[in-house]
Amino acid sequence: MISDREKAAFEAGIKLGALYHQWVGAPISIATASSLERAIEESVALQPFVTGVKVRLVHDRIISNPFGYSEVKGDLFDVELSTRVGHACCRATLAYKGGYPLMSIVALDPCDRPAPD
């Protein structure tokens, strides 16, 4: 049987992977970065088991092309996401580390009380 703890970690990983692959390549500019951050957060927050998501795109790395915009790339992401399954809570991140957009589990702990049905 798969535990709530394993499910919470899986849900965090699948959400971060989907976020990454869904948004890489999206057009972006310094002027639109904040609204895209909110759109990503609102989109991910709709998914089951997500209890929190914070998206920051590293504005210093947004370099416009001759047409005045750029594309979302892996090195722009700074994301923290929380999931909850039953009595288990997971906090995970997506950040550019060592030249790679790395997804990591930061904490995987029991919650104070079970998730509501």
CATH superfamily of 4-110: 7,8-dihydroneopterin aldolase (MptD) (3.30.1300.20)
Write out pLDDT tens, residues 84-117. 999 999 999 999 999 999 999 999 999 876 566 5
Contact between 24 and 72 (Cβ < 8 Å) = yes
Query: What are 44's two structure tokens?
Result: 């991910």
Cβ atoms within 10 Å of 73's Cβ, excluding its own: 18
DSSP state of 67: T
pLDDT at position 116, please?
61
Q: Please report, for the chain, the start and end positions of each structural domain, with discontinuous segments joined by +.
A: 4-110
What is the model's pLDDT at position 114? 59
Give the global pTM. 0.90
pLDDT digits (tens, 9 = 90+) for 8-37: 999 999 999 999 999 999 999 999 999 999
* CA 48 and chain centroid, separation: 14
Q: d(Cα 86, Cα 111) in Å, to the nearest integer?
A: 8
Instruction: Tell me the residue type at 82.
Output: S
